[in-house]
Amino acid sequence: MSGIAAVVKLRKAGYTDLTVYEKTDKVGGTWRENQYPGLSCDVPSRWYSFSFALNPDWTHRFSYGPEIQAYMEKTANDFGVTDIVKFNTPVTDLTYAAPHWRLTTGAGEVEQYDIVISATGVLHNPVLPKIEGLDSFEGDMFHTARWDHSVPLEGRKVGIIGTGSTAAQIIGAITSKVGTMNVFQRTPQWMIPLPQREYLGITKWLMRTFPALQKLTYNFYFKTMVKHFGQATVGDQKELAKIQEACSKHLEDAVKDPELRAKLTPDYQAACKRLIFCSDFYPAITSDNANLITEGIERIVPEGIKTVDGKTHELDVLVLATGFDATSFILPTKVTGENGRDLGEAWDGSPRAHRAVGMPGFPNFWMLEGPTGPVGNLSLITITEHQVDYVIAMLNKMRDEGLEGIAPKQTSFDAYNAEMQARVPTTVWASGGCDSWYFDKSGVPNLYPFSPDRYLNDMHDPDFSEYRLIADSRESDAVQAAE
């Protein structure tokens, strides 16, 4: 998604000598990787769209995965992005050899570029649970991002570990089809109903005939989500209380059995973990063929899962809905900047960036959806597009002033991250009493802790005094040392 946005916007800004590297055989990123049943996007379709390719034909208010994947492919084709993609070409190494970047592919090819933009996404390295005996399971087992569609589910005993956004969608979608659905829940989650709606033919006609309506609805969802949800997560108690109330009411209305309801009730604040928008989970978990198992998992055994109460839950299929490594970003590609600085070592499990897009010591290396971007429940497409505009401002500066490179100053990076660090404790992600994938090795959530519109506005107003403007890269080492 970010790569497509980057190519379209860069070209529009006059930067046409572009090459895209893609590790697989298709564009689409997360929408290509995730193909599990029930996959949908809980950000409204009208807003989860490229601003330059609004789509009158969305079939639902919240799109399903295959439709978004088709939209990604269509946009990439329509805008001539697909033509410049080197498919099945993973990038294994990026080394800065001033003033260029040397890029090495998995096949050992080496190319040289002036600028590198990392558009590698956030959640793409699946995490398998560290549970003893995982490999001993004799049934069918896969991670949600590697769904095996050849495995039949009808009438079978299915187990799923995890109750995040992914698991909730899967459980909602398949429970009525399987024999038994066993949900292994470590921590309950707050869920807000998803106001799904199918769009009528007349709506599509209106959107197509009056394109201004598409822009209007894009802006409506953009402003509404940022104003309400965005503000809630960064500390607006009134907005948070509304979310809490909606989640509590949802649970109360949907789950009548007090014992089951108690098991499903979190002991932390709503929106602390990434909030789940899902209306199908509670009807599924309250159905006769579903079991919510809250006893801890002791180990996986050949026939299923043994919990700490000594019980063995026999399973035919085991689905691992255990999430992703959210701290890797472009890694495991090895990225080496000035003076041999290694990106993985610099991050050391706590990735940070300057304004989520740049790193000191890594000139002309820009990240989309990089560390500390404002990701919580907003449209990542909008965020990416703003970041691309920021990168374009950097390129324009280089072009206009004949610079060889631009990189954040270490002092700017430190000040920016210190300001965020000081503010993070006031966000619901940190103060809400939960653990989540937002936390990294540093022990704080790796997210932008101010209002998202502040970030988006900043993306349109780069302050170049925060950057080292490198006129001649031969001076670069000296400047770097002086800093």
231 vs 322, which CB is nearer to ligand NAP? 322
The strand pairing partners of 354, in sequence order, are 358
Give the interface segment with ligand NAP, choosing from 102-110, 158-166, 217-225, 414-422 (CB under 6 A): 158-166
Residue 123 interacting with ligand NAP (CB under 6 A): yes
Peptide bond into 332 cis (omega under 30): yes
Q: What mask, x for binding ligand NAP by CB under 6 A, covers residues 264 to 303?
A: ----------x----------------------x------
Residue 165 interacting with ligand NAP (CB under 6 A): yes
Residue 383 interacting with ligand NAP (CB under 6 A): no
- 105 Cα distance to chain centroid: 25
267 vs 463, which CB is nearer to ligand NAP? 267
In the chain, the amino acid numbered 118 is S
Residue 6 interacting with ligand NAP (CB under 6 A): no
Residue 134 interacting with ligand NAP (CB under 6 A): no
Residue 319 interacting with ligand NAP (CB under 6 A): no
164 vs 304, which CB is nearer to ligand NAP? 164
In the chain, the amino acid numbered 231 is Q
Residue 146 interacting with ligand NAP (CB under 6 A): no
> Which listed residue (29, 159, 164, 432) binds ligand NAP by CB under 6 A?
164
Give the interface segment with ligand NAP, choosing from 15-23, 34-42, 112-120, 466-474 (CB under 6 A): 34-42
Residue 352 interacting with ligand NAP (CB under 6 A): no
What the block records as the tokens of 338 is 């000035």
Least distance between ligand NAP and beta carbon 198 (Å)? 17
Spatial contact of 164 and 324, defined as CB atoms under 8 Å apart: no
Least distance between ligand NAP and beta carbon 19 (Å)? 29
Residue 338 interacting with ligand NAP (CB under 6 A): no
Spatial contact of 344 and 335, defined as CB atoms under 8 Å apart: yes
Q: Which of 280, 275, 189 is nearest to 229 (CA)?
A: 275
Spatial contact of 173 and 194, defined as CB atoms under 8 Å apart: no
Spatial contact of 29 and 72, defined as CB atoms under 8 Å apart: yes
User: What is the DSSP annotation of 225-241?
Assistant: HIIIIIHHHTT-HHHHH
Angstrom distance (rounded) from CA 79 to CA 25: 18
> Residue for token digits 């503000």?
231
CA atoms lying within 13 Å on the CB side of residue 136: 11
Position of minimal CB gap to ligand NAP? 164
Q: What mask, x for binding ligand NAP by CB under 6 A, covers residues 42 to 61?
A: xx------------------
217 vs 322, which CB is nearer to ligand NAP? 322
* Long-range contacts at 79-82 (CB < 8 A, ≥ 24 apart): 79/4, 79/7, 79/8, 79/11, 79/52, 79/53, 81/3, 81/4, 81/7, 81/8, 81/20, 81/27, 82/27
365 vs 439, which CB is nearer to ligand NAP? 439
Residue 321 interacting with ligand NAP (CB under 6 A): yes
Least distance between ligand NAP and beta carbon 309 (Å)? 15
Question: What is the CA angle 463-393-5, rounded to 5?
Answer: 130
Angstrom distance (rounded) from CA 64 to CA 38: 7
Residue 304 interacting with ligand NAP (CB under 6 A): no
Q: How far is CA 306 from CA 338, 371, 429, in A?
A: 51, 37, 32
Angstrom distance (rounded) from CA 292 to CA 307: 12
> Which listed residue (44, 266, 323, 449) binds ligand NAP by CB under 6 A?
323
Residue 440 interacting with ligand NAP (CB under 6 A): no
What the block records as the tokens of 97 is 């050899």
Angstrom distance (rounded) from CA 475 to CA 436: 43
User: What is the DSSP annotation of 165-232?
Assistant: HHHHHHHHHHTTTBSEEEEE-SS---EE-----BPPHHHHHHHHH-HHHHHHHHHHHHHHHIIIIIHH
Residue 437 interacting with ligand NAP (CB under 6 A): yes
By CB under 6 A, the count of residues binding ligand NAP is 24
81 vs 167, which CB is nearer to ligand NAP? 167
> Which listed residue (12, 146, 149, 186) binds ligand NAP by CB under 6 A?
186
Within 48-98, residue ranges assigned H as helices are: 65-78
Residue 161 interacting with ligand NAP (CB under 6 A): yes
Least distance between ligand NAP and beta carbon 95 (Å)? 31
Residue 322 interacting with ligand NAP (CB under 6 A): yes
Give the interface segment with ligand NAP, choosing from 37-45, 220-228, 310-318, 472-480 (CB under 6 A): 37-45
> Which listed residue (131, 246, 301, 393) binds ligand NAP by CB under 6 A?
131
Q: Which of 453, 368, 384 is nearest to 50 (CA)?
A: 384
Residue 133 interacting with ligand NAP (CB under 6 A): no
Q: Which residues bind ligand NAP (CB under 6 A)?
A: 40-43, 123, 129, 131, 144, 161-167, 186-187, 274, 297, 321-324, 437
